[in-house]
Amino acid sequence: MERLSGMDATFLYLETDAGHMQIALVGIYDVSTMRDGYSFEKFKQHMADRLQVVPPFRRRLVEVPFQFHHPVWIEDPDFDLDRHVRRVTCPAPGGRRELGEVTAEIASVPLDRDRPLWEAWVIEGLKHDRVGLVIKVHHAAVDGAGGADIDSKLSTDVANR
């Protein structure tokens, strides 16, 4: 169990229906270079294999009764990867505009505070044999540098799968 800092808790307190306090990382991958080709199942297994190096991805919030103090992070005893790693098909022709629209839709939905505060969306159907990836994480769980660190840890060996 770890209590949120005042700054991290502020990101929770400032969130509104119109202003979500989450960050999104977007990547485009050329899957033609992947050893043994791409499959969503292999990507999902890669995420499962990397979870131990990204602690915020296994923790969920617990509110303190009557809000006497900031919430705490606990290891989620009911963690289910299927609730966090999802896939969607980009509308044709699968260019930057369509990818932007799909990404905007993903980013517009708030994260469920009853689960660890992240989602990974694989966007299939992009032009030129590419796949998009949007990783959405609440700002209470990571800062900007933490987001880059997560991207680095999750990307390790993804091209070699």
Residues 6+ apart with CB under 8 A from 24: 103, 106, 107, 134, 135, 136, 137
Look up 138 and say whether it is catalytic.
Answer: no
Angle between helices 40-50 and 144-155 (to 10 degrees): 120
Q: What are phi and psi of 38, to 5 degrees?
A: -95, 145
Compute the C-alpha angle 79/102/134, nearest 5°: 45
Catalytic residue from among 20, 84, 138, 139: 139
Task: List the catalytic residues.
Answer: 139
